[in-house]
Amino acid sequence: MSTDVEVTGLHKSFGDLEVLKGIDLKVEPGEVVCIIGPSGSGKSTLLRCVNLLEEPSSGTVRVGGTELTDPDVDIDAARRRIGMVFQSFNLFPHLTALGNVTIAQRKVLKRDKDEAERIGRDNLKRVGLADKVDSYPAQLSGGQQQRVAIARALAMGPEVMLFDEPTSALDPELVGDVLAVMRKLAVDGMTMLVVTHEMSFAREVADRVVFMDGGVVVEQGPPSQVIANPSQERTRSFLARVLNPAKVGEE
């Protein structure tokens, strides 16, 4: 089951610094939207506002028709519909992979031990880690830890998945395994909002690419347009630096 996300007139300030300057973004059920842009453009803040880890200064966020920014909303219930995966894995070092994937199910969803473990094993298998259920985080590579973090989010049964640069902390050779899991989620029809620097992933998997800079959406459209043939000069200069860093260094 997937659902839609609608962000309207979203502003977010930290003191005098306005980070988001009126974002409008609609994500359809089952759509994969990749958000690209330079550091400090507001990409991660936008994701954190979607599940109210950051409270918007103004504007509305709706997930599946429920307005998360309504003061009377049951935010805990609404948040359960949204899975989030961060740059850092945030695993409990004293728990096994299975323990990390079951703890929130038992504490938040009140599932019994057997059901939580069954769902936990299913989701570890889903991310290619069926043989690592009894391994502790210290025994796993960074890519494997990130896949445990994805399994943990999936075990809660989300309708939307948010990924905040999930591969940026990984060694290059470990990135592919995590992206493969995300590709499979896309094929399975999960609604996904992905902040990423992985242009090949965005080109291949995204239904739509959103380029942000300076707290606004500069350009959006299919990858064939935004990445291959951007209409805005700011998008072109960003992609030139990302796709050809050596060439930029020669200038």
Share of the chain above pLDDT 70, in %: 97
| pLDDT tens-digit readout, 11-49 | 999 999 999 999 999 999 999 999 999 999 999 999 999
- Which residue type, as a one-letter code, is found at position 226? V
Cβ–Cβ < 8 Å for 134, 98: yes
Report, in angstroms and rounded to the nearest whole number, the Rg of the chain calculated over CA atoms: 18
| Residues 209, 213: Cα–Cα separation, whole Å | 13
Q: Which of 186, 147, 191, 140 is CA-nearest to residue 166? A: 147
| Residues 146, 90: Cα–Cα separation, whole Å | 9
Taking the mean position of all CA atoms in its chain, how far away is CA 181? 13
The secondary element (H helix, E strand) that includes residue 68 is none
**Strands 58-63, 5-14: pairing kind:** antiparallel
Q: What 3-state class would DSSP assign to 16?
A: coil
Taking the mean position of all CA atoms in its chain, how far away is CA 119? 21
| Residues 170, 100: Cα–Cα separation, whole Å | 20
* pLDDT band per the 50, 70, 90 thresholds, residue 1: low
Question: Is the confidence at residue 165, as pLDDT, over 80?
Answer: yes
Average pLDDT score, the chain: 93
